Amino acid sequence: MTKPIARFTVSVDAATKAVIDDLSELMDTSVTKLAGSLLDDSRPHLEHLRDSIRSAKDNPGTSYTTMHLALIEAQRHALEAQADFLEQIAKAKAKD
């Protein structure tokens, strides 16, 4: 059974697009698959960020720090997910 897929348009600056294009080519994968994998891997932290923002709106005086920490954690996790993804591709290429 395949997972349901949702599609949406994302805008990034030209330099980010160039890096994603380069990675996609080097990793022999599509831009869509690469970007989707990075976002899917970041979902738990995106959910935490979403919840923190909701909390901040309900209680703005005490939630700023929590929201800021959630953003930092999401960014850290995104970097780890990218490294893991690249490592998997490198291992697959090494087998070839």
Residue 8 lies in a domain: no
Q: What share of the chain in percent tops pLDDT 70?
A: 94
Q: Which residue has the tokens 């979902």?
A: 43
Residue 60 has pLDDT above 80, yes or no: no
Each residue's pLDDT tens digit, 70-83:
788 888 888 888 88
d(CA 77, CA 53): 18
Note the pTM of the prediction, 2 decimals.
0.58
Domain range spanning residue 42?
A: 31-95
Per-residue pLDDT at 72: 86
Do the domain assignments include residue 25?
no
Question: In angstroms, rounded to a whole number, what is the distance separating the alpha carbons of residues 27 and 44?
Answer: 25
User: Residue 23 domain-assigned?
Assistant: no
User: For 30-37, what is the mean pLDDT?
Assistant: 90
Host H or E run for residue 7:
none
Residue 69: pLDDT above 70? yes
> In total, how many domains does the chain have?
1
Determine, yes or no, domain membership for 1: no
